[in-house]
Amino acid sequence: MKILLIPKKDIEGILSMREVMNAVESAFRYKALGKVQMPPKLYVMFPKGDFRTMPCYIPELGFGGVKIVNVHPENPEKYGLPTIMALMILIEPETGKPLAIMDGTWITNIRTGAAGGVAAKYLARKDSKVIGMVGAGTQARTQLLALNEVFDIDEVKVYSKPMKTCEKFKRDMAHLGLNILIKERAEDAVRGCDILVTTTPVTQPIVKNEWVDEGMHINAIGADAPLKEELDPQILKRAKIVVDDIEQACHSGEINVPISKGIITKADIYAELGEIIAGKKVGRVNDGEITIFDSTGLAIQDLATAILVYKRARERGLGSEVELL
């Protein structure tokens, strides 16, 4: 039995952000229609991080799979390693045999950005032009790539610690031709923006309520584990809250701390993103709404993206087949 091994070097650039956004949007729709199997994400905690296992099956797409992914915030500075590293295994439902093992780090990064772009498509004001970014790492890059597919962006304001992270972000994203401004304070990146993206690993709110204007949309990406929290809970009380998955968000998303403290309840969650995509609920209804997308990252996003990678790799003869079993 041969299995296709697809390394990162073969899959970087194999798909466009637009293709991944379309795949992720479809995956959310399948979820809302009850057409996926996706057990809860499991966490194993380490002293300096964690790893998660994320299985799922999408019958409409004809594949199952599981991702193993870590999050270690100290990696870049201390060890020269990415904060997030992942491995994806693609499985044939009919026999259960593994079809491919591939790098999942790129998949994790691009599908997270894609989800943010899809969420903003449904929740942000259509005339949004100013993007604020708190956090300037890999996740911020893919978020901006996706937003650039949806909106005519005039200005990007970015804040992060250390400041050299912002400088690298600006250099790396220069190919988009956008006006990227580095800000020395988080407040300056937040105030006056139409869409705010937060991608930090903090456990104390970094964005204050008084900085957030009416009509702003927020992609809250950084809180993806228990105790993480980027937003002042009072922002949540003012906003229409949309999550990728209710149970997962309550456990490990931006809303996990406010819910545990009784500041908000499940009843304050307006919808899952898939419900809006599938037309079960409406998205933004007026220009004055504050909307929040609480992204924890779902296995369906990984699987939908991995399927595209696998098919493209087969078409192009990428990767290498090995006999593991």
Strand partners, 218: 196, 292
pLDDT of residue 213: 96
pLDDT of residue 1: 84
Residues contacting 162, CB < 8 A, separation 6+? none
pLDDT of residue 77: 87
Q: Does 267 share its domain with 168?
A: yes
pLDDT tens digits, 284-325: 999 999 999 999 999 999 999 999 999 999 999 999 999 987
Q: Does 96 share its domain with 153?
A: no
In this predicted structure, the answer to whether residue 250 has a pLDDT above a threshold of 90 is yes
Q: Does 172 share its domain with 73?
A: no
Cα–Cα distance between 320 and 164 in angstroms, integer?
A: 38
DSSP-based three-state secondary structure for 151: coil
Q: Does 32 share its domain with 165?
A: no
Query: Is 153 a member of any domain?
Result: yes
- State which residues form the domain around 17: 2-108+300-323
Query: Is 116 a member of any domain?
Result: no
- Going 64 to 44 to 257 to 112, the CA torsion angle's sign is negative
Cα–Cα distance between 85 and 67 in angstroms, integer?
A: 10
- Among residues 190, 143, 191, 140, the alpha carbon closest in space to that of 166 is found at 140
**What CATH number does residue 61 fall under?**
3.30.1780.10
Q: Does 184 share its domain with 317?
A: no
Mean pLDDT, residues 109-117: 97
**What CATH number does residue 280 fall under?**
3.40.50.720
DSSP-based three-state secondary structure for 89: strand
Query: Is 260 a member of any domain?
Result: yes
DSSP-based three-state secondary structure for 135: coil
Query: Is 113 a member of any domain?
Result: no
pLDDT tens digits, 62-88: 999 999 999 998 998 899 998 889 999
Query: Measuring CA to CA, how many Å separate 14 from each of 85, 115, 175, 200, 319?
Result: 19, 18, 18, 27, 12
User: First-to-last CA distance in the chain?
Assistant: 6
DSSP-based three-state secondary structure for 40: coil
Query: Is 118 a member of any domain?
Result: no
Q: Does 163 share its domain with 97?
A: no
Query: Is 207 a member of any domain?
Result: yes
Query: What is the DSSP track for 180-208?
Result: EEE-SSHHHHHTT-SEEEE----SS--B-
Q: Does 243 share its domain with 140?
A: yes
| 45: DSSP letter | E
DSSP-based three-state secondary structure for 93: coil
Overall domain count for the chain: 2
CB 313 within 8 A of CB 14: yes
The percent of residues in the chain predicted with pLDDT above 90, rounded, is: 93
Cβ atoms < 10 Å from Cβ of 247? 13
Q: Does 277 share its domain with 315?
A: no
The band of 94, judged by pLDDT with boundaries at 50, 70 and 90, is very high
Q: H or E element: which one contains 63?
A: strand 63-71
CB 302 within 8 A of CB 111: yes
Q: Does 186 share its domain with 103?
A: no
pLDDT of residue 18: 97
Query: Is 93 a member of any domain?
Result: yes
- Please list the active-site residues: 67
Query: Is 119 a member of any domain?
Result: no
In this predicted structure, the answer to whether residue 249 has a pLDDT above a threshold of 90 is yes
Average pLDDT in the chain: 96
Q: Of the given ranges (30-39, 42-51, 140-149, 180-189), which has the lowest mean pLDDT?
A: 42-51
pLDDT tens digits, 145-184: 999 999 999 999 999 988 999 999 999 999 999 999 999 9
Strand partners, 56: 65
In this predicted structure, the answer to whether residue 211 has a pLDDT above a threshold of 80 is yes
Q: Does 84 share its domain with 129?
A: no
pLDDT of residue 224: 84
pLDDT of residue 90: 98
Q: Does 33 share its domain with 159?
A: no
Q: Does 184 share its domain with 238?
A: yes
